Structure 1
Amino acid sequence: MRGYLTAALAVALPLAAISQTQTPPSAGQAELEKLQLERSQRMQAASKELKGEVTATKMAKLQDDYAKIYQDLWPRYEKLAKTSKGGVQVRARLDMIQLAQMGRKYEQIEAIANAIVKENRNVAETAQAVTVLSRLGMALGGGMSAKNAEEQKAATLLGQKKVGAYLAALEKSKNPVVRAGVLYYQAQAERDATKKSAMFAQLLEKYPTTDYGKMAQAARFEAENLQIGKAAPNFTATDENGKTFTLADYKGKVVVLDFWGFW
């Protein structure tokens, strides 16, 4: 349970960051930001319960807190999703998926996912939904209520089938950003290095100006060069004494590379 709740938290928190614009936000945008701030603050406050030793009592308290957040915010999110359109509607619905997970209302997740795919397919922000939808297999397949390994397996297969249908629908989006998002996810999920590289190359060719196209360049380099058994790419750097060196200077020797920085 702890892992599932942590995953739910991780999925939604990045979505709370709304890009700043030079124009005043619309009423829908302002309400969305207000809801996201409240949701984020309450989730962070609830997660503090897990500090120190994690016990069954703490997990039960966390689930109760999450259920209360769901109860309080769901009606407001539902109203916003019905009265807004475009990117605001998409982001509201993505937040609602997380709320449904927190409240253990798994039957509501599929309805929201269907609405995103059918009504928001051509909205650029729907590209954000690709990763979220791809992680819903267990919930969509009924895996959270499985009683044994056989039911768990069946739920996993059903969930994967539904996720595949969603991604196939989004592949037909009229918005290139959404199509690029689907292809980027598929490339990241591909385990075969050759196929992965080919998919990133396709992404760079078809959608070079999208953010996903730009990310594909670095991802393709990683897939082709930064793998176990590959020779490390040569580079030049300066040591702690100000002396310039290249990795090739140490060819034939054992080298330990320690990458660090401040963010």
Structure 2
Amino acid sequence: MIIVTGATGQLGGQIVERLLDRVPAERVGVSVRDPDKARSFADRGVRVRQGSFTDGAGLAHAFEGASQVLVVSVDRMGAETVRQHRTAIDAAVAAGARRIVYTAQMGASPTSRFQACRDHAATEEALAASGVAWTSLRNGFHAASGLHFLAEGLASGEVALPADGPVCWTAHADLAEAAAVILADEGRFEGPTPALTAPEALTFADIAAAASALTGRAVTRTVAPDDAFRARLVAGGVPDETAGHLLSIFPAAREGEFATADPTLAKLLGRDPVGVRELLREQLAGH
């Protein structure tokens, strides 16, 4: 049985959907904090059990009978995130899983400027020490995050963000499909995958220019000092530590940590991945 955690989240839910295109529902299980939210999967024959990354014993029950466990990384940053990932890894080992698959990020490194990439590197160290086979999906940077950063600028006509660098913004749907392909073909990758990215790396200046072309009105890219951006986040209610973590995306991008496009995702999908320009077009069409 293939167990997917976080199956009611944006990425985990799409992974389950794509996995059900490839394997029978009785071979799929999900571990979720609130089983009621996964009722649609249960109605289709997927095993649904409650599981939390803060409860190792509960997770071991949720993972019972697993051949593979997909650990969808926690959508937070810092030491507590790594502790929760280790709890999930230990529970997968305790449940007898023969492979753990983990959703990491391109640029994962203990020396990354971006906190999340350091967290992913620490989790990969735990996977390597687990004693079971493992695969780490080095996902391209989520395009949804880039479009979220852009949203205020689209409304005002000015994208005021810290200095950045080119980023391979990659669609959740493509990453979900790739994860399903890899889960259905166990052992396709050992350890970290190559970066799973969209075909081009774009800066926020590139995206602002694309928005201008699509909307027919000027969207200007201006550079906000790092400290001013962090202060703006805090003033908007973001905790200071979280604001610092979010800010760290930009110096990492300036160092080129998310700039390398790789053909692996296209090979897994059998087609070109969706680019951020197309996602931007879809977002604008929905407004």
Q: Tell me the TM-score normalized by structure 1.
A: 0.30
Structure (1 or 2) with the greater helix fraction: 1
Greater radius of gyration (CA): 1
Q: Tell me the TM-score normalized by structure 2.
A: 0.28
Higher relative contact order (CA 8 A, sep 6+): 2
